[in-house]
Chain A
Amino acid sequence: VTLSPTMASSQLLLFVIVGKNEPLYEAEFHKMGGTSSGTSDSVTRQNYFVLHSALDLVDKASWTTNNMYLKVVDKINHQQVSTFLTAGNIKFMLLHGGKTEDSIKNFFNEVYELYVKLSMNPFYKYDTPITSKFFDTRVRAVARRYLS
């Protein structure tokens, strides 16, 4: 399987929240007015594959620093995977085509705040999929603000 770097790769952002065993939340962000009319299935699958294969590297890196923001953990072709770990070891992972560190850090910090607030809900069980639509709307708004 060759990973073909399409025009879309630098405009597509894939954000996944991963718990101890499974993804808890996923969102794709497209740049407005991008040339592709939505990502094709195979590109999406490749993106998920890239993100998940970076998990081992995240695990390794997570014990070497006590920062929450782990910066770029993996580079594949023209894409990079940046990661942020919460105190409870929930991983926020972003697949991107080379955004500036600052904008990614700000994005992660805002999503972190949303995640902690979500966790305060006594009916939200830790490490379970996030189904709140409010959360989804908010995360997308944060992504629009910092990542486009």
Chain B
Amino acid sequence: MSRSTANILDRPLGGRGARSEGSVSTSAFAYLYSELVQYHQSRVASISELERRLESSGYGVGLKVLELLAYRAREYKRETRLMNILQFVSSAVWKSLFGKAADSLERSIDHADEFMIVDYEPITSMYVSVPSDLGQLSVDAYLSGIIAGVLDGAGFTARVTAHSVTLEEHEVSANNAPNTNMGGSGSVNNNLPPRKDKAVFLVKFAPEVLERDATLDR
């Protein structure tokens, strides 16, 4: 097996005009992720600790994705506004990691500092079934770690948590129609029973972030 041993500082980074940045098969990811979850599962004593470990595994990914995507965009710009960084996460980051933008970005009515990013088919939980004794566990905590990493790196400290929310009637039929386009994840015929829930990532920003963003409005 020949592999180039060029220093990382010499390897190309991709960007405008580069050849396709490469993608990884869903099954490779699913295997690796399942091992990651099992590794942590055998070392923790509680559900929240497991979720915390998954979050910190994803955090580093978020930081790197932030720098890489900003660089590849070649615009030498950074996000300074709250809505813009959220748009960046739900479209650019999602597209780069999963092949399609997040299904929706919503703002909480009750709390001014809370936002929700919704994904109907997050790959981290596609091949995972949670037994009832693990109750509220969401293995998508890895993805909330990624989101938190991107936001934190950009200066928008936030607490991000993953929740599995049962699909409502109209959502179930819309997403499980036979020829639904699954975008970059590719596998339309995965022979799995249709999902009954969606992943909602709740993003709660620190108060200083909202204050700062409010002063920039003036």
Interface on A for B, CB 8 Å cutoff?
A: 62-69, 85-89, 109, 112-122, 125-126, 132, 134-135, 138
Contact = CB atoms under 8 A, between A and B. Distances in A.
A69 to B, nearest CB: 6
Contact of B64 (A66, A69, A119): A119
Interface stretch (B3-11, B45-53, B189-197): B3-11
Contact of A89 (B76, B81, B153, B216): B153
7 contacts: A86-B67, A113-B71, A118-B9, A120-B68, A122-B60, A125-B60, A126-B64
B212 interface: yes
A132 B7 CA distance: 11
B78 A86 contact: yes
B9 A134 contact: yes
Contacts of A62: 80, 155
A117 B13 contact: yes
B80 A66 contact: yes
A65 B80 CA distance: 7
Nearest to A114: B9
Contacts of B13: 113, 116-117, 120
A114 B7 CA distance: 11
Contact of B71 (A85, A116, A138): A116
Nearest to A88: B153
Contact of B67 (A88, A109, A134): A88
Given A63-B216, A67-B76, A126-B153, A86 B11 contact: no
B64 A89 contact: no
A82 B154 CA distance: 20
Chain B interface size, as a band, is 20 to 34
B106 interface: no
Given A63-B212, A120-B68, A135 B78 contact: no
A89 B154 contact: yes
User: Most chain-A CB neighbours within 10 Å: which of B9, B79, B80, B154?
Assistant: B9
Contacts of A87: 66-67, 69-71, 78-79, 153-154
User: Most chain-B CB neighbours within 10 Å: which of A63, A87, A118, A119?
Assistant: A87
B19 interface: no
Contacts of A122: 60
Contacts of A117: 8-9, 11, 13
A68 B73 CA distance: 12
Contacts of B203: none
Given A66-B80, A68-B76, 8 more contacts: A63-B216, A66-B81, A87-B78, A112-B71, A113-B71, A116-B71, A118-B9, A126-B64
For the complex of A and B, the 9 pairs showing the least CB-CB separation, nearest first, are A87-B70, A88-B153, A68-B76, A126-B63, A116-B71, A87-B78, A66-B80, A66-B77, A89-B155
A139 B206 CA distance: 36
Interface string B152-168: 01110000000000000
Contacts of B80: 62-66
